[in-house]
A and B are shown apart, each in its own frame.
Chain A
Amino acid sequence: QSVLTQPPSVSGAPGQRVTISCTGSSSNIGAGYDVHWYQQLPGTAPKLLIYGNSNRPSGVPDRFSGSKSGTSASLAITGLQAEDEADYYCQSYDSSLKVVFGGGTKLTVL
């Protein structure tokens, strides 16, 4: 059971917009700790997608955006492309003194 809760899967057609939620609690996201998002393509290491709730590293398309409110965060992907098919993980920090990840969400592009 992950400390951060994500839907196991989401899907969308090319060109559409999808969102992935990440629900935490008052000891992590709600405590003000930043949320970060990673994209993991099959057979590869995770890649940083969003840091500090809503910031994109250089090279990440602006189709990807992040937001945070209260004890939750969301990743939005607009203009869905086949290459976006991957697993997505949210991550934060918990007052129990550890880094915590969500269980991951598999995005399928229909």
Chain B
Amino acid sequence: QVQLQESGPGLVKPSETLSLTCAVSGYSISSGYYWGWIRQPPGKGLEWIGSIYHSGSTYYNPSLKSRVTISVDTSKNQFSLKLSSVTAADTAVYYCAREEATRVHDYWGQGTLVTVSS
């Protein structure tokens, strides 16, 4: 059974960098698939942030591309998200998920709320 678990600070100050990690169990990241991040502002819909292929190739939402970095650590079987220069608009529940070639997200983490506030 594939399981994903997000971790990271729940509170980030404006203009700083949001950093989250997604630990994967039950499947080896290096074996394949894309690994993605999706966010959901409180009371709103889902927004795809980006994803990384197991080989390290990255794909970002053009609207966030200038601020986003996704990386993978196959030795720890985890992947990470960095979002720079955050504002209150970046306050959201952040989910990590496994993404197939058709871009379907078949396994999701439980999500972690990140609040941007001073």
Q: Residues of A with Cβ closer than 8 Å to B?
A: 2, 33-34, 36, 38, 44-48, 51-52, 57, 89, 91-93, 96-104
A57 to chain B, nearest CB (A): 7
Contact between A99 and B48, CB atoms less than 8 A apart: yes
Q: A97-B59, A97-B62 are in contact. Are A46 and B106 (CB under 8 A)?
A: no
Among residues of A, the one whose C-beta sits closest to the C-beta of B105 is A48
Contact between A101 and B47, CB atoms less than 8 A apart: yes
Residues on A with C-beta less than 8 A from B95 are 45-46
Residues on B with C-beta less than 8 A from A96 are 62
Residues on B with C-beta less than 8 A from A92 are 103
Contact of B45 among A33, A52, A98, A103 (CB under 8 A): A103
Interface positions of B from 95 to 109, Cβ below 8 Å from A = 95, 99-100, 102-106, 108-109
Per-residue interface assignment for chain B, residues 11 to 54, with 1 indicating a CB less than 8 Å from any chain A CB and 0 otherwise: 00000000000000000000000001000000001111001000
Contact between B45 and A89, CB atoms less than 8 A apart: yes
Contact between B102 and A101, CB atoms less than 8 A apart: no
A sample of 30 cross-chain residue pairs with beta-carbon separation below 8 angstroms, ordered by A number, consists of A2-B45, A33-B102, A34-B102, A36-B103, A36-B104, A44-B110, A45-B95, A45-B108, A45-B111, A46-B95, A46-B105, A46-B108, A48-B106, A51-B104, A57-B106, A91-B105, A93-B102, A96-B62, A97-B59, A98-B59, A98-B61, A99-B36, A99-B48, A99-B61, A99-B103, A100-B48, A101-B46, A101-B48, A104-B45, A104-B46
B26 to chain A, nearest CB (A): 15
Residues on B with C-beta less than 8 A from A102 are 45
Q: A51-B102, A52-B104 are in contact. Are A45 and B48 (CB under 8 A)?
A: no
Contact between B103 and A101, CB atoms less than 8 A apart: no
Contact between A45 and B110, CB atoms less than 8 A apart: yes
Contact between B48 and A98, CB atoms less than 8 A apart: yes
